[in-house]
């Protein structure tokens, strides 16, 4: 039975669905999906069109809004919204160090996780759509990786879509993971350079922290091994609108005087732990590079391998001279599965996934070229997480897709620019802008 309840201005209903683990075997094992239906209080009894929200990631559950926050307020003016926890995330059947051993060993776990990509997510959506909408097509809003899923939706099941809206998530249709990260590291460096230009005092602070971590064994309260590479990975936040400011605030009180001399402050270590741990979303680390797997060529820890082509990211080399220590970004590395207690039991599983050679295509260029679904996409200029050139190439390959290219927002423009971002994109799909 579905449970409905209220928050300010909205009526919420918890929805749960059983879907096949493998959509090629519809009579086989099932997993559970959770979704939260949201409708404006004054429209609760109305027959409204549906908007399906696909969260970024991979590996994150849908936003847990309170009331009509962010873009949701604009959506609720005309839609009934379904906030879907994609398979393995949020309140859907979980995939973690605690649950994955139920599948067997690393090979069996990797086989299971290979079914957690965009193509399976799209088929999940199509499996639940008849129950949710009565069979009517719905509008999909895809943020970041959710946009990747939306492009897969246009490739695999466009008949299920009335409209598609993408924010910061037009993927390359063809690029291998190597190509993705080869394009990413220069963007990351630009973001770091901009951060140091804004906060020049952070150059020396970051060098001091990195030097300490290179010369001391530091373990965070949860058992995370805090290395210089782990510290550099905090640059992940630089792709968000407030990320540079948050990084600055993190660095400014990193050390405290003790009888034994300066040491990393407990408060700094506690904050770093919260930012570095994958305990809440291990799927992100496990399947991140699989979203770029589309052929017999393995991803093979692409971010780690390609980083070697950019020696300026080597903290030890930077400290040997007078260069700034560069932070990194949305990259997953083998050392994370040694450093993080939430990932350590899954190291062999990650290795099996990295070596996998039977990835199938996630997009259909021919079908996209013949697209008839109204589509609009916000492309953020110099987006840290999704390459702008790749996005624009894809935009040209999807028939009828209209873009809004802007440098007003970072990757989180849907959140920080709401309701303007969603309003503008919906207008584009309707030829009203």
Active site residues: 144, 358, 411
**Cα–Cα distance for residue pair 412/414, rounded to 1 Å:** 5
Could you tell me if 66 and 72 are in contact, meaning their C-beta atoms sit under 8 angstroms apart? no
Residue 26 neighbours by CB under 8 Å, 6+ apart: 20
The phi and psi torsions of 361 (rounded to 5 degrees) equal -60, 145
**Cα–Cα distance for residue pair 377/360, rounded to 1 Å:** 25
**Cα–Cα distance for residue pair 342/320, rounded to 1 Å:** 33
First to last CA, the chain: 42
Buried-exposed string 365-404: b where 16+ CB fall within 10 A, e elsewhere: eeebeebebbbbbbbbeebbbbbbebbeebbebbeebbbb
Which burial class, exposed, middle or buried, applies to 81 when counting CB atoms under 10 A from its CB (0-12, 13-18, 19+)? buried
Closest to 148 (Cα-Cα) out of 282, 314, 287: 287
Question: Mind giving me the DSSP string for 173-196?
Answer: SS--HHHHHHHHHHHHHHHHHHHH
Could you tell me if 54 and 61 are in contact, meaning their C-beta atoms sit under 8 angstroms apart? no
């Amino acid at each position: 039975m579905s449970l409905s309840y209220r928050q300010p201005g909205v009526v919420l209903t918890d929805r749960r669905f059983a879907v096949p683990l493998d959509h090629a075997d519809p009579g086989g094992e099932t997993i559970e999906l959770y979704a939260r239906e949201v409708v404006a209080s004054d429209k609760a009894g109305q027959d409204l069109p549906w908007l399906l929200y696909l969260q970024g990631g991979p590996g994150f559950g849908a936003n847990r809004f309170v009331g009509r926050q962010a873009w949701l307020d604009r959506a609720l003016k005309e839609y009934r919204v379904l906030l879907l926890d994609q398979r393995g995330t949020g309140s859907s059947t979980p995939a973690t160090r605690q649950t994955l051993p139920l599948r067997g060993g690393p090979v069996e776990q990797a086989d299971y996780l290979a079914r957690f990509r965009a193509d399976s997510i799209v088929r999940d959506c199509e499996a639940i759509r008849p129950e949710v909408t009565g069979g009517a097509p719905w509008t999909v809003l895809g943020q970041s990786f959710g946009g990747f899923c939306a492009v897969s939706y246009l490739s695999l099941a466009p008949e299920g879509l009335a409209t598609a809206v993408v924010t910061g998530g037009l993927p390359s249709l063809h690029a291998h993971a190597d190509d993705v990260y080869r394009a990413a590291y220069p963007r990351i460096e630009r973001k770091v350079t901009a951060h140091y230009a804004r906060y020049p005092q952070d150059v020396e602070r970051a060098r001091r922290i990195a030097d300490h971590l290179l010369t001391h064994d530091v373990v965070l309260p949860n058992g995370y091994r805090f290395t210089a590479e782990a510290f550099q990975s905090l640059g992940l936040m630089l792709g968000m609108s407030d990320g540079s400011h948050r990084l600055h605030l993190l660095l400014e009180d990193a050390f405290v005087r003790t009888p034994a001399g300066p040491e990393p402050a407990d408060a700094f270590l506690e904050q770093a732990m919260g930012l570095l741990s994958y305990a809440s979303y291990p799927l992100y680390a496990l399947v991140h590079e699989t979203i770029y797997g589309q052929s017999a060529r393995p991803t093979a820890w692409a971010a780690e391998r390609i980083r070697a082509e950019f020696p300026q990211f080597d903290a030890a080399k930077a400290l040997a001279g007078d260069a700034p220590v560069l932070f990194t970004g949305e990259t997953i590395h083998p050392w994370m599965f040694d450093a993080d207690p939430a990932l350590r039991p899954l190291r062999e599983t990650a290795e099996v996934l990295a070596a996998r050679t039977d990835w199938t295509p996630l997009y259909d260029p021919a079908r996209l070229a013949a697209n008839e679904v109204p589509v609009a996409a916000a492309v953020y200029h110099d987006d840290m997480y999704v390459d702008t050139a790749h996005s624009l190439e894809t935009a040209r390959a999807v028939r009828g897709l209209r873009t809004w290219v802007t440098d007003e927002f970072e990757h989180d423009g849907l959140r920080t620019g709401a309701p303007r971002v969603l309003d503008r994109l919906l207008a584009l799909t309707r030829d009203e802008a």
